């Protein structure tokens, strides 16, 4: 009898806890929704920071195009006009260009220089550049494979500066090198050492293409990747409602560690977003047989690069733009 009462009490306690956590989960997601609605650039393009982000994204599309393996001349005409519109609008509304906006203009100049002998006229771009006669074109580094991986044993600042995504894949990834990289990646820290991250290695071309069709960010190079790493985080590791972002924070820390490890092991990688609609997320889980409890955090396209290739410059913000000291 006493045992039954004890069990009932434990059951009632567990039920109360579940109800409490469910209420907190709703509150947490409602807060996230509110913050996103009030601040996401997608909904507030009138703000300077959002307008700048749109420009960075648009110049990066062109910058990637300038360095793509299967580049076709005349690519991205719509992207050029879109970027010009964004830059001109930014300058009209906010005055002087920020360093990132200034870089956008330099990317446009690089695009024009690449198309110097191109027969089609580019009146909009020429008019934009005519107003900036002393503008220098952005340069996209051209590297030799051995140099790309040369800082493997260098001190961390040089090694970190040498890591870049690569969108040129010419050969398969050696399995032992990939296993070594994955083993190094396991050194990533995680909240209470719960080690949220899991990795699905996709070598089947049909699965790769199906996944990339859902992802949408690999046009022009995805078909050359010999291995795709899908990093997930197990939601079973979440212990309370306020940990709703932990899959992504812990998964993200793991991903960067994995990127460094891949670079160290001589494997070229391109990080790919997983910012997809729920329908695509569901379809990817089904396609790859990933359990529902594993949230897809990031996808990495991998391969061995050719002997020489281009990388996008992706210039970084200055320390002053990023860091606020609260002394």
Ligand X SMILES: Cc1cc2nc3c(=O)[nH]c(=O)nc-3n(C[C@H](O)[C@H](O)[C@H](O)COP(=O)(O)O)c2cc1C
Give residues in contact with ligand X (CB under 6 A): 60, 64, 164-165, 167, 217, 270-273, 311-312, 314
Cβ 256 to ligand X, closest distance in Å? 8
CB 43 to ligand X: min, Å: 20
Minimum distance from residue 59 beta carbon to ligand X (Å): 10
Tokens (6 digits) for 173: 């990834």
Which residue number places its CB atom closest to ligand X?
217
Indicate the residue among 60 and 194 with the shorter CB distance to ligand X: 60
Shorter beta-carbon distance to ligand X: residue 172 or 217 = 217
Report the candidate in 50, 59, 106 with the shortest Cα–Cα distance to residue 80.
Answer: 59
| Pick 122 or 284: Cβ nearer ligand X | 284
Q: Does an H or E element contain 300, and which?
A: strand 294-303
Nearer to ligand X, 21 or 271 (CB): 271
- Shortest Å, Cβ 96 to ligand X: 24
Smallest distance from ligand X to CB 166, Å = 8
Q: Where are the alpha helices (DSSP H) in the chain?
A: 2-39, 48-67, 77-94, 99-114, 123-130, 145-148, 156-162, 175-185, 205-215, 246-264, 278-288, 319-322
User: CA-based diameter of the chain, in Å?
Assistant: 92
> What is the closest distance, in whole angstroms, from the C-beta atom of residue 311 to ligand X in the complex?
6
Structure tokens at 28: 């947490």
Tokens of 94: 């906010």
The neighbour count for residue 242, using CB atoms within 10 Å, is 14
Residue that has been written with the tokens 């393009």 in this structure:
45
Output phi, psi for 204, to 5 deg.
Answer: -75, 120
CA-to-CA distance for 11 and 72, rounded, in angstroms?
Answer: 65
Q: Which is nearer to ligand X, 128 or 294 (CB)?
A: 294
Nearer to ligand X, 129 or 168 (CB): 168
Taking CA atoms, 277 is separated from 39, 116, 215, in Å, by 20, 40, 10
CB nearer ligand X, residue 173 or residue 300:
300
Q: Are strands 308-310 and 142-144 parallel, antiparallel or unpaired?
A: antiparallel
Closest separation in Å from C-beta 272 to ligand X: 4
């Amino acid at each position: 009898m006493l045992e039954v009462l004890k069990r009932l009490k434990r059951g009632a306690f567990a039920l109360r806890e579940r109800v409490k956590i469910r209420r907190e989960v709703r509150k947490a997601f409602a807060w996230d929704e509110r913050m996103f609605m009030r601040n996401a650039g997608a909904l507030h393009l009138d703000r300077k920071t959002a307008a700048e982000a749109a420009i960075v994204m648009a110049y990066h599309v062109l910058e990637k195009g300038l360095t793509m393996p299967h580049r076709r001349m005349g690519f991205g005409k719509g992207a050029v006009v879109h970027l010009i519109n964004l830059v001109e609008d930014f300058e009209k509304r906010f005055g002087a260009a920020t360093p990132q906006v200034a870089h956008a203009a330099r990317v446009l100049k690089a695009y024009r220089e690449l198309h110097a002998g191109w027969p089609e006229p580019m009146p909009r771009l020429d008019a934009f550049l005519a107003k900036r006669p002393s503008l220098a074109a952005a340069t996209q580094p051209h590297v030799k494979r051995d140099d790309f991986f040369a800082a493997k044993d260098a001190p961390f600042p040089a090694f970190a500066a040498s890591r870049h995504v690569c969108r040129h894949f010419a050969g398969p990834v050696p399995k032992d090198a990939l296993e070594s990289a994955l083993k190094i990646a396991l050194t990533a820290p995680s909240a209470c050492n719960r080690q949220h991250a899991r990795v699905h290695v996709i070598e089947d071309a049909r699965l790769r293409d199906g996944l990339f069709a859902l992802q949408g960010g690999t046009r022009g190079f995805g078909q050359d990747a010999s291995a795709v790493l899908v990093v997930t985080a197990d939601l079973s590791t979440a212990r309370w409602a306020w940990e709703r972002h932990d899959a992504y924070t812990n998964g993200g820390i793991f991903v960067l560690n994995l990127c460094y490890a891949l670079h160290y092991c001589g494997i070229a990688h391109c990080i790919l977003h997983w910012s997809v609609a729920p329908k695509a997320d569901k379809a990817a889980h089904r396609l790859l047989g990933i359990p529902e409890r594993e949230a897809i955090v990031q996808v990495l396209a991998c391969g061995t690069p050719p002997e020489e290739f281009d990388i996008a410059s992706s210039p970084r913000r200055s320390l002053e733009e990023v860091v606020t000291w609260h002394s």
